[in-house]
Amino acid sequence: MTTVNNWTEISWDPNAPAVVAWRQANLKATRRVPVASREQYLASLARDRRVLDIGVVEHDVSNEASGRWLHRHIVDAAASCLGVDVLPEGIDALREGGYDVLVHDVTTSPLPEQFELVVAGELVEHVGSPQLLFESVAAMLSPAGRFVLTTPNPYMLHRAWKHLRGDFPDSVDHVTMFEASNLAELGERAGLELVSWRGVRLRDLAGWRNRIASVVRLGLARTMLAAEIGCDSIIYEFCHRTEHADRSKE
């Protein structure tokens, strides 16, 4: 059976039924069970690897004090970890705290080295040129490396409900929201292949309204609706297309 690497090998019409069916089949094949902790899962991927973490400041350096600050989890697990961000003051503060970090915008140019894992946590939705992000990551990713990004789930129940009510749902710095097909396409255009995607289950929050919402989400997830309806964020993993093709032959 002939392997199709890109939908244009089927048809130049992105709306052709065969093209849509091919993309849908790929997304179903790469979908995984949701995880409980974004930080713990990404740390497991970083273990004993050379890692580049993009967007380490997370808007404000005060986030470093949070137990959910992703960069600390990555640093603790990785063999080595370089952090980059476009915010000079935040980078200076983290460097003073002993972190290996530098000011760099990867959408303008890749760094002149390669990494076994590139992490972009809750970043792509802020980037004005997401295709440039993917192309830069592809240049910095070692041949057998992995690119993992996380981004808010646009179809999470609470977020979708706020949209339906006409309420403003998220950060004013978000320029777009992504779902699996969008990111698979961005990856393919940069020579990367989506190899897995999974939700991060929303953590129970305080207050009776949120407890009720948690019960509702759990009930809906047990219906025919997607389990991701109860996931605030989605984790997407990519590798070089040639690397994935070689593994599939084993």
Domain count, the chain: 1
Place of tokens 């939908």: 7
In a domain, 206, yes or no: no
β-bridge pairing 115-121 and 101-103: unpaired
Cα separation, 151 vs 141, in Å, equals: 20
Cα separation, 54 vs 120, in Å, equals: 5
| Chain mean pLDDT for the chain | 88
Cα separation, 29 vs 23, in Å, equals: 10
Place of tokens 């199709």: 4
CA 118 to chain CA mean position, Å: 10
- Structure tokens that stand for 16 in this block: 């052709």
In a domain, 21, yes or no: no
Provide the residue range defining the domain that includes 51: 29-152+176-201+232-248
Nearest Cα to Cα of residue 148 among 53, 64, 34: 53
Length of the chain: 250
In a domain, 77, yes or no: yes
In a domain, 180, yes or no: yes
- Structure tokens that stand for 20 in this block: 């849509």
- For residue 217, give every residue at least 6 positions away whose Cβ sits within 8 Å of its Cβ, in sequence order, or none: 157, 202, 229, 230
Q: What does the pLDDT read at residue 228?
A: 84
Cα separation, 95 vs 176, in Å, equals: 31
CATH number of the domain within which 34 lies: 3.40.50.150
Confidence of residue 1 (pLDDT cuts 50, 70, 90): very low
Instruction: Choose the weakest-confidence range: 44-58, 107-121, 169-183, 234-248.
Output: 234-248
Helix (H), strand (E), coil (C) string for the chain: CCCCCCHHHCCCCCCCHHHHHHHHHHHHHHECCCECCHHHHHHHHHCCCEEEEECCCCCCHHHHHCCCCHHHHHHHHCCEEEEEECCHHHHHHHHHCCCCEEECCCCCCCCCCCEEEEEEECCHHHCCCHHHHHHHHHHHEEEEEEEEEEEECCCCHHHHHHHHCCCCCCCCCCCCCCCHHHHHHHHHHCCEEEEEEEEEECCCCCCHHHHHHHHHHHHHHCCCCCHHHHEEEEEEEEEEHHHHHHHHCC
In a domain, 2, yes or no: no
CB-based contact 23:184 (threshold 8 Å): yes
The pLDDT tens digits of the residues spanning 131-154 come to 999 999 999 999 999 999 999 998
Is the full-model pTM beyond 0.75? yes
Identify the bridge partners of residue 80 per DSSP, sorted by sequence position.
50
In a domain, 207, yes or no: no
Cα separation, 228 vs 34, in Å, equals: 7
Amino acid residing at 5 = N
Whether pLDDT at 208 is above 60: no
In a domain, 239, yes or no: yes
In a domain, 5, yes or no: no
Confidence of residue 175 (pLDDT cuts 50, 70, 90): confident
Confidence of residue 201 (pLDDT cuts 50, 70, 90): confident
Whether pLDDT at 44 is above 90: yes
